[in-house]
Amino acid sequence: MDTLDDVLLDTIDKMENSLKVLKGQFAGLRTGKASPALVDGVQVTYYGTPTRLRDLANISTPEPRLIVISPYDPTALPEIEKAILAANLGVTPRNDGRVIRVPIPELNEERRKEIVKVAKRQSEEARIAVRNVRRDGNDAIKALQKDGKITEDERDRGLDEVQKATDAHIAKIDGELKNKEAEVMAV
């Protein structure tokens, strides 16, 4: 990276990616209402090849507490059912020969608190990732100044921009956690 702007853009891009990963992890957390994201990434052994469920079937939520999985190939039904059970999602699929219905049971208070703990751990990992990106960005900016490519004033401005981006992304992570916590704890 030759310029300060390149370093700043790269740093902010990596922070955005950390936030995207967190949102993806949150989408997979069970809340008590049906969401295709709950089973989206389940790996199904299809003709000996591990394949994501979303690549094998249409996943829909016709009711707030029901996920319906319609495989493109009906012969895959038993494998899909096994994969959902093996994924240990806390749900039991029902196979009727054409589609798999996955009823989402009501969460009890204890399970809700466990899910919130998982969400907090995931958000802390995202904060750590953002801070690591900040450290790398700061190191790159200092290296540019050391190599004489930027002045001390530009270095200080760059470090300040990286810190502002870090604070903004950590605030977004906290906001995502707060929203997920409210969603999980809502009865």
Q: 56 and 116, same structural domain?
A: no
Q: 62 and 81, same structural domain?
A: yes
Residue 9 lies in a domain: yes
Paired with 43 in beta bridges are: 52
Residue 142 lies in a domain: yes
Q: Give the pTM.
A: 0.71
Residue 81 lies in a domain: yes
Q: 118 and 92, same structural domain?
A: no
Query: The domain that contains 16 carries what CATH number?
Result: 1.10.132.20
Q: 85 and 64, same structural domain?
A: yes
Paired with 50 in beta bridges are: 45
Domain limits at 66? 37-103
Query: The domain that contains 82 carries what CATH number?
Result: 3.30.1360.40
Nearest to 2 by CA among 133, 136, 148: 148
Residue 32 lies in a domain: no
Residue 46 lies in a domain: yes
Digit-coded pLDDT (tens) for 105-153: 877 888 888 888 989 999 999 999 999 999 999 999 999 999 989 999 9
Digit-coded pLDDT (tens) for 49-85: 898 888 889 999 898 889 999 999 888 899 999 998 8
Q: 67 and 99, same structural domain?
A: yes
Residue 180 CA to residue 141 CA, distance in Å, equals 35
Q: 80 and 128, same structural domain?
A: no
Question: How many residues comprise the chain?
Answer: 187
Q: 112 and 84, same structural domain?
A: no
Q: How many domains does the chain have?
A: 2
Count the Cβ atoms, other than its own, within 10 Å of residue 35. 18
